[in-house]
């Protein structure tokens, strides 16, 4: 029997040696695990990229500019720029590499939805990261949006939820997959070849066909008899691990020959190749070091342009791979920076921040919410998202997550209902994605 499973063992061993986490779909019905390469269709979208500026970005140097000298030292009120409905900080003269705000908004402003004045409620990294990723502050059990949408829309995809860092809890709904390097992806995609080299297969085609027939026969024999639920699940997982490498081979044509140098671009290439192959639904991307307690302006002017360059890279490559019209992009951070500098020319943690979105179903060239001159959030009417100081509410991450669930059409999915966000009907945001939406058509 070892000769029948050798290639699969080598595949799994390769994953372990490379430090990879590989998704193994968990199917409640053992019969559902019988899918062959022909039976396992490619997932066609929508796809979700979540960009995390880990550490806390300075929103006044990007989408929520303030011209006060006490809040920033790079520009004045009269220097603030506009592009359509957007106002943003000028950074072309200050950035150290990467993409300036000017170029980013010129190209993507018409598609971009910005929300300012997001209330995180707390300002510590760990709870804030969890809160922004899941929409739930007081629980460790909730999945991130990226994991939830993967579980709802592509539970059988071999790499349904990819993560490259930051908070990545799954709620035990879907496997968390980590593929750190493009060469690792190449080896996974070609698991039946030595080191992923298609010219050096472990077996000839006739031998592989015999192996697959033997695996299928053994699986059929095992599930023919009665099995306890845990045994049935274990058999399902084993069979999925043995067969999913066939679906993963669809990644190969989409792996670039040259590895990009930028750290976000490398993450993007892995995610988009997996999207193009139909084996992945969502990816959690991340770059760190935004926690600029010292030398805020210098550090943020390295990192914000790098982040924008990575987002632009993703959108351009998605166009090349014909994925652009199915790609939802979420840009977020777990906190903002204080509206004043400390003694080390840095800025500390601030519990008010911003988020940006673009993609199908998102009406762009819009800025929602606002902060005042001291970076405190305005209260908003949930129905209209206009300022309502007397009877409005403070928009928190759970409001955005409820809106994201509605955008993805998963608000009423059993998995979403298992993890309620506690948003009453009166606090939902029916016009968040589209100003002409109504409460009746904003659901899934």
pLDDT tens digits for range 98-140: 999 999 999 999 999 999 999 999 999 999 999 999 999 999 9
Please tell me the pTM assigned to this model: 0.85
With beta carbons less than 8 A apart as the criterion, state whether 34 and 315 touch.
no
With beta carbons less than 8 A apart as the criterion, state whether 176 and 21 touch.
yes
Which pLDDT belongs to residue 246? 73
Collect the ranges in the chain with pLDDT lower than 70: 1-40, 191-209, 211-212, 215, 219, 230, 232-245, 438-444
DSSP, res 243: H
Residues β-bridged to residue 368: 115
Residue 2 exposed, middle or buried by CB count within 10 Å (0-12, 13-18, 19+)? exposed
Which pLDDT belongs to residue 218? 73
Distance from C-alpha of 226 to C-alpha of 224, rounded to nearest angstrom: 7
* Residue 412 to residues 170, 171, 238, 242, 367, Cα–Cα distance (Å): 18, 17, 31, 33, 28
Write the Ramachandran bin of 417: left for phi over 0, alpha for psi from -120 to 50, otherwise beta.
alpha
Which pLDDT belongs to residue 441? 45
């Amino acid at each position: 029997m070892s000769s029948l499973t050798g290639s699969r063992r080598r595949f799994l061993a390769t994953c372990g040696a490379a430090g990879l986490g590989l998704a193994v779909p968990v199917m409640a019905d053992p019969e559902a695990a019988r899918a062959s390469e022909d039976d396992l269709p490619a997932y066609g979208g929508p796809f979700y990229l979540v960009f995390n500026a880990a550490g806390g970005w300075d929103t006044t140097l990007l989408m929520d500019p303030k011209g006060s000298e006490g809040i920033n030292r790079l520009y004045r009120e009269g220097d603030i720029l506009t592009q359509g409905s957007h106002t943003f900080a000028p950074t072309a003269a200050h950035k150290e590499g990467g993409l300036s705000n000017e170029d980013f908004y010129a190209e993507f402003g018409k598609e971009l939805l910005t929300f300012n004045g997001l209330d995180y409620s707390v300002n510590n990294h760990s709870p804030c990261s969890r809160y922004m990723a899941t929409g739930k502050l007081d629980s460790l059990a909730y999945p991130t949006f990226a994991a939830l949408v993967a579980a709802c829309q592509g539970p059988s995809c071999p790499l349904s939820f990819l993560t490259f860092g930051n908070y990545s809890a799954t709620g035990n709904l879907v496997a968390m997959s980590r593929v750190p390097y493009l060469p690792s992806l190449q080896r996974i995609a070609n698991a039946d070849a030595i080191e992923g080299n298609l010219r050096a297969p472990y077996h000839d085609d006739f031998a592989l066909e015999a192996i697959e027939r033997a695996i299928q026969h053994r699986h059929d024999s095992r599930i023919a008899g009665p099995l306890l639920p845990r045994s049935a699940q274990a058999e399902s997982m084993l069979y999925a691990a043995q067969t999913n490498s066939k679906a993963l081979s669809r990644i190969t044509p989409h792996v670039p020959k040259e590895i990009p140098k930028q750290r976000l671009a490398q993450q993007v290439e892995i995610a988009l190749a997996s999207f193009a192959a139909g084996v992945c639904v969502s990816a959690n991307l991340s770059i760190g070091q935004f926690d600029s307690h010292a030398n805020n302006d210098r550090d943020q002017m390295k990192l914000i342009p790098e982040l924008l360059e990575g987002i632009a890279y993703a959108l351009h490559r998605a166009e090349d791979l014909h994925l652009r019209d199915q790609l939802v992009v979420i840009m977020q951070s777990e906190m903002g920076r204080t509206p004043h500098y400390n003694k080390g020319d840095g800025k500390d943690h601030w519990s008010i921040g911003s988020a940006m979105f673009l993609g199908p179903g998102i009406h762009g060239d819009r800025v929602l919410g606002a902060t005042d001159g001291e970076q405190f959030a305005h209260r908003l009417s949930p129905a209209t998202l206009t300022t309502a100081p007397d009877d409005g509410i403070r928009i928190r991450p759970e409001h955005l997550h409820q809106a994201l669930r509605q955008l993805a059409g998963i608000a009423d999915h059993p998995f979403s209902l298992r993890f309620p966000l506690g948003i009453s009907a009166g606090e939902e945001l029916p016009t968040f994605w589209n100003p002409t939406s109504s409460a009746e058509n904003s659901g899934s």
